[in-house]
Amino acid sequence: MSEKSSRLPGFYRLSMAERTDVVAQWADLTADEKAILAGAGLSDEQANLMIENVVGTYKLPLGIAANFLVNGRDYLIPMVVEEPSVVAAISNAARLIRAGGGFTTTATDPVMIGQIQVLDVADMETAVAALNAAKPELLERANCCDKVMVRLGGGARDIEIRPFADTPVGPMIVVHLLFDVRDAMGANAINTCVEDLAPIVADLTGGRTNLRILSNLADRRTATASGIIPAAALTQDDAEGTEVAQWIAEANAFAVVDPYRAATHNKGIMNGIDAVCLATGNDWRAIEAGAHAYAARNGRYAALTDWHVNENGDLYGEITLPMAVGIVGGATKVHPTAKVAMKILNVESASELAQVMAAVGLAQNLAAIRALATTGIQKGHMRLHARQVAMAAGASGPQVQQIANQLVAEKKIHIERAKELLNQP
Ligand code: MEV
Q: Rounded distance, CA 298 to CA 219, Å?
A: 12
Same domain? For 97 and 181 the reply is: no
Same domain? For 353 and 387 the reply is: no
Tell me the per-residue pLDDT of 12-71, one tens digit each, with 9 for 90 and over: 999 999 999 999 999 999 999 999 998 889 999 999 999 999 999 999 999 999 999 999
Candidate list 267, 308, 412, 419, residue with the active-site label:
267
Same domain? For 200 and 252 the reply is: no
Q: What are residue 156's phi and psi, to 5 degrees?
A: -65, 135
- CATH number for the domain harbouring residue 125: 3.30.70.420
Q: Rounded distance, CA 372 to CA 194, Å?
A: 45
Query: Ligand 1: distance of its center to the CA of 191 in Å?
Result: 35
Query: For the whole model, what pTM was predicted?
Result: 0.93
Query: Ligand 1: distance of its center to the CA of 368 in Å?
Result: 6
381 classed as catalytic: yes
Can you give the length of the chain in residues? 425
Same domain? For 74 and 98 the reply is: yes
Question: Ligand 1 test: best mutation among 254, 265, 381, most atoms within 8 Å of CB?
Answer: 265
Same domain? For 324 and 235 the reply is: yes
Closest residue CA from atom 10 of ligand 1: 368
Residue 4 is assigned to a structural domain of this protein: no
267 classed as catalytic: yes
Query: Ligand 1: distance of its center to the CA of 264 in Å?
Result: 6
Nearest alpha carbon to residue 69 among 363, 281, 369, 371: 363
Residue 221 is assigned to a structural domain of this protein: no
Range of the domain at 336: 11-105+228-376
Total domains in the fold of the chain: 3
What b/e sequence results for 210-223 when a residue is b if at least 16 CB atoms lie within 10 Å of its CB, and e otherwise?
eebebbbbbbbbbb
User: How much is the pLDDT for 2?
Assistant: 52
Candidate list 21, 83, 158, 243, residue with the active-site label:
83
User: How much is the pLDDT for 425?
Assistant: 78
Q: Which helix (H) or strand (E) holds 248?
A: helix 241-257
- In sequence order, what DSSP letters do the residues of 305-327 get, joined into one string? EEEEE-TTS-EEEEEEEE----S
Candidate list 33, 183, 283, 352, residue with the active-site label:
283
Of 187, 215, 243, the one marking the end of a domain is: 215
Same domain? For 154 and 286 the reply is: no
User: How much is the pLDDT for 1?
Assistant: 45
Closest residue CA from atom 3 of ligand 1: 268
pLDDT in tens, the chain (425 residues): 457 999 999 999 999 999 999 999 999 999 999 999 988 899 999 999 999 999 999 999 999 999 999 999 999 999 999 999 999 999 999 999 999 999 999 999 999 999 999 999 999 999 999 999 999 999 999 999 889 999 999 999 999 999 999 999 999 999 999 999 999 999 999 999 999 999 999 999 999 999 999 999 999 999 999 999 999 999 999 999 999 999 999 999 999 999 999 999 999 999 999 999 999 999 999 999 999 999 999 999 999 999 999 999 999 999 999 999 999 988 888 899 999 999 999 999 999 999 999 999 999 999 999 999 998 877 777 777 888 899 999 999 989 989 999 998 898 889 999 999 999 87
User: Which residues approach ligand 1 with their CB closer than 6 A?
Assistant: 83, 264-265, 267-268, 271, 368-369, 372, 377
Residue 355 is assigned to a structural domain of this protein: yes
Same domain? For 168 and 314 the reply is: no
Query: Ligand 1: distance of its center to the CA of 388 in Å?
Result: 18
Query: Ligand 1: distance of its center to the CA of 387 in Å?
Result: 19
Q: Which amino acid is at 319?
A: I
